[in-house]
Amino acid sequence: MNNNSSALKNNAAGAEDRTVANRIRAVLAAHGRLSVDVAGLSETDDLYAAGMTSLASVNVMLALEGEFDVEFPDQMLNRSMFSSVAAIEAAVRKIVG
Amino acid sequence: MRPIDVLSPDVVEIAAAHAADVDERSRFPSEALAALKQARALSDAVPREYGGRGFGMQELAAQCSTLAHGCSAAGMILAMHHIQVACIARHSAESPYFQSFLKRIAQEQLLIASVTSEVGTFGDTRSSVAAVERKGDRFELNKDATTISYGAHADALLVTCRRNPDAAASDQVLVLVNKDSYELEQSSSWNTLGMRGTCSPGFMMRSHGSVEQIVPGAFADSSAQTMVPYSHILWAALWQGIAGAAVARAAHQVRGEARKKPGTVPPTAIQLAKIDAQLQSIRHNWQSLAAEFDTLGTSAEDLQALLGMGWALKLNNLKVSVSEAVVQIVHQALQITGIMGYKNDSPVSVGRHYRDVLSASLMISNERIASKNASMLLVFKADST
């Protein structure tokens, strides 16, 4: 497992100014298959209520692992860990330390 | 666990006596259901505090397996009923309405059917078109269901639907509707290859009720924590029961051959030994998962575990492997019994069993499950097993 804290600092092109939350939102926009615009969701809005299916959530997990260069341990791979932007951010920060 | 501890042999005998007629006429196994009510088995999944026997997963699964040995349709109906009762008991314990409903199940031996399938969702139980529409403290709920097993014979229905008319397809709740406040208009037939006695045609359902009949929380949780584990384990158990009945018929014929020539082992006995091993393997498969499920309580941590991929994968693997194995086992039982097994009216006929187990890979299609597992395995690391 890669517990490299530099993963939070820069990754995708021009990432210097991108906050973790914005990178999570970009992943959600690309892979979450939400029925609403991700920009209109608050940090704590329920992503499942916004239309994310369990299958789409797996793609979000995969894309987050790629974006932050981390591996989520199995006990984190459940609905509640990926239920909102804030929950995902907490999970990402927990892994990268 | 002995079968006699979970179900009276009389019930199995009654179910078995009518199984061929139930299959032939594609009719509801009313004798078996009357016997189950007499034995008060319809409240075996109801917690003791509400007047049931509070059976755990191992006991319920053993019961479904035992009953399906006599009659597949009765076994499936009992399993589906227990699944609905478990959803109510495990997710509505705080609600006075559902507490009194659980007592009614025990007192009146009510039969609960499930309404999950729907025109337009293409077999995906985790999405709905229909939505519950609240008006004050009342609701209206209409659903175009592609199939409702024993729908015409149930006393109440547990229905999946969207939380409200604006909710996303996957934002679902469970709603209990009572017979006196729903109408069912049959929209298709149930003339099938097997499982004919489950009487599962399509229905247009129109219902209304009080908002307290909406199960608290999200179906996303009750699905993963209850409906999926109970379905896959109880189904696996009853499918094994059907295969076991076919093996018992094959064994009966092999013993008959052996008696004609004491001292020589008939060639069919070798084939029998092989399917006996396969049968043991699938029995142990569901028994072990049922035992593991029963070690879980209702603590937040245990319920959280059921939401995880580890449990989803294990349950899906059980469903897929048992549904494939039972077909092979019954096929081999047919090879052993030969023409006598191929005849529909011989004592060792296995045609009904063969047709019934063919439904196993279709009830929540194995292809769909394999695709879900494939996707989960892309992120699941099996690091805690």
Write down the residue that tokens 């199984």 correspond to: B19
For chain A, what is the mean pLDDT?
A: 84
Chain B 95-154, residues with CB within 8 Å of chain A CB atoms: 126-127
Residues with Cβ within 8 Å of residue A14, at least 6 apart in sequence: none
Predicted local confidence at residue B221, as pLDDT: 93
Predicted local confidence at residue A9, as pLDDT: 52
A4: left (phi over 0), alpha (psi -120 to 50) or beta: beta
As a whole number of Å, the CA-based R_g of chain A is: 12
CA dihedral B62, B65, B66, B69 (to 10 degrees): -170
Give CB contacts under 8 A, 24+ apart, made by A39-46.
Answer: A41/A85, A42/A85, A43/A84, A43/A85, A43/A86, A43/A89, A44/A84, A44/A85, A44/A86, A45/A84, A45/A85, A46/A83, A46/A84
pTM comes to 0.93
Greater model confidence, A80 or A28: A28
Nearest chain B Cα distance for residue A16, angstroms: 27
- B313 near A CB under 8 A: no
Nearest residue to B73 (alpha-carbon basis) of B118, B105, B103, B31:
B31
Q: Do B112 and B156 meet the contact criterion of CB atoms below 8 Å apart?
A: yes
Question: Does the structure show a pLDDT above 60 at A15?
Answer: no
Predicted local confidence at residue A1, as pLDDT: 43
Cβ contact B168–A48 (<8 Å): yes
CA B51/CA B44 separation, integer angstroms: 9
Question: Does the structure show a pLDDT above 60 at A2?
Answer: no
Write down the residue that tokens 């009614």 correspond to: B104
Helix (H, G, I), strand (E, B) or coil at B184: strand
Predicted local confidence at residue A54, as pLDDT: 84
Band (pLDDT 50/70/90 cuts) for residue A8 is low
Chain B: residue whose CA lies nearest to A76? B308
Cβ contact B307–A61 (<8 Å): no
Tens digit of each residue's pLDDT (9 = 90 or more) over B305-332: 999 999 999 999 999 999 999 999 999 9
Cβ contact A74–B309 (<8 Å): yes
Q: Do A48 and B220 meet the contact criterion of CB atoms below 8 Å apart?
A: yes
Predicted local confidence at residue B123, as pLDDT: 87
Predicted local confidence at residue B268, as pLDDT: 96
Q: Which two tokens stand for residue A87?
A: 């929950």
Q: Which two tokens stand for residue A97?
A: 């330390």
DSSP E strands, chain B: 112-115, 133-135, 138-145, 156-162, 172-178, 182-186, 203-210
Predicted local confidence at residue B184, as pLDDT: 98
Question: Does the structure show a pLDDT above 60 at A28?
Answer: yes
- B224 near A CB under 8 A: yes
Instruction: Identify the residue among B379, B380, B381, B383 best suited for mutation to test binding to A, counting A beta carbons within 10 A and taking the highest.
Output: B379
Band (pLDDT 50/70/90 cuts) for residue A44 is very high
As a whole number of Å, the CA-based R_g of chain B is: 21
- B309 near A CB under 8 A: yes
Q: State yes or no: ipTM above 0.85.
A: no
Q: Which two tokens stand for residue A61?
A: 């997990």
Chain B: residue whose CA lies nearest to A53? B170
Predicted local confidence at residue A45, as pLDDT: 95
Band (pLDDT 50/70/90 cuts) for residue A14 is very low
Nearest chain B Cα distance for residue A78, angstroms: 5
Q: Which two tokens stand for residue B10?
A: 């009389």
Q: Which of B169, B310, B379 sits opposite A72 (nearest CB)?
A: B379
Q: Which residue ranges in chain B fall short of pLDDT 70? A: 384-385
Cβ contact B384–A71 (<8 Å): no
Question: Does the structure show a pLDDT above 50 at A74?
Answer: yes
Predicted local confidence at residue B384, as pLDDT: 60
Chain A: residue whose CA lies nearest to B312? A78
Q: Which residues of A37-50 are buried (b: 16+ CB within 10 A; e: fewer)?
A: ebeebeeebebbbb
Amino acid letter, residue A62: L
